[in-house]
Homo-oligomer: A and B are copies of this chain.
Amino acid sequence: MNEISQASELAGFFPFWDKLSQPMKEQLIRHVSVRKYPAKTAIYQGRQNCLGLLLIRSGQIRAYIMTEEGRELTLYRLFSGDICLFSASCVFNSIQFDIFLTAEQDTEVLHIPPDIYRECIEQSAPAALYTNELMASGFSEVMWVLEQVLSKKMDARLAAFLIEESALEETDDLTLTHEQIANHLGSAREVMTRMLKYFQSEGLVRLTRGHVELTDVPGLTRLAKDSLR
């Protein structure tokens, strides 16, 4: 990758690129590197290993937390063109929580080391301001999850999750165990099994071992609406 194509790619990720000083641009170009994560590999496991800023070229990253009981709760997903801020959480003293990141598909990113990124937002108000927006965006996702968890409308949450997965995977036949679904929704397997069986009895899904087939997408969509803002 030459310097010119790197600069134009970074400019695509950073709306503040044109406002950076020439030395700062050169430093970012010098330190950016390509990283590849095969599907289902862990990218980041909390604050103990500070990775840096990730600019997602292709693929999909899932951000989640682990509960005390070892359950996972999906917070949000990042796609091509998105910036992953929380892999650089060590850049901020006040981040006192651990987010886990996993590549859900084969994922390719541009990596910027944490110290270089820190220097960038220390020097440039537009870069720091944009970082505020990135953080606010992640914050908003988490607030939505918190509201979902509190609202306890598990039927609507499950329906919304199945529709989202179906859209992401581009199939109505999802390869998912009840355990996996429970992890995504921060619930227990037994609760999910009960709810899925209820969905099946309503003709919304067909269950086979390790699979959930969506048989009434309009019906699931109606149900999901209750859980969406």
Among B69, B92, B132, B153, the residue within 8 A (CB) of A121 is B132
- Complex contact B92–A133 (CB within 8 A): yes
- Complex contact B186–A136 (CB within 8 A): no
Assign chain A's interface to a size class. 35 or more
Q: With both chains docked as a complex, state the minimum distance between the C-beta of A228 and any C-beta of chain B, in angstroms.
A: 11
Enumerate A41-69 residues with CB–CB distance to B below 8 Å: 65, 67-69
Instruction: Please give, as numbers and ranges, the residues of chain B lying within 8 Å of A150 by CB-CB distance.
Output: 67-68, 71, 73, 149, 186
The docked-state distance in angstroms from the alpha carbon of A142 to that of B137 is 14
Given contact pairs A65-B146, A129-B122, A143-B142, A136 touches B71 in the complex (Cβ within 8 A): no
Given contact pairs A71-B150, A139-B142, A146-B65, A94 touches B125 in the complex (Cβ within 8 A): no
The docked-state distance in angstroms from the alpha carbon of A96 to that of B140 is 5
- Complex contact A146–B145 (CB within 8 A): yes
Measured CB to CB, the nearest residue on chain B to A92 is: B136
- Additional A-B contacts beyond A96-B137, A135-B139, A142-B143 (16; CB < 8 A): A65-B146, A67-B150, A67-B151, A69-B151, A97-B139, A97-B140, A97-B144, A122-B126, A128-B128, A135-B135, A142-B142, A142-B146, A146-B146, A146-B149, A149-B149, A149-B150
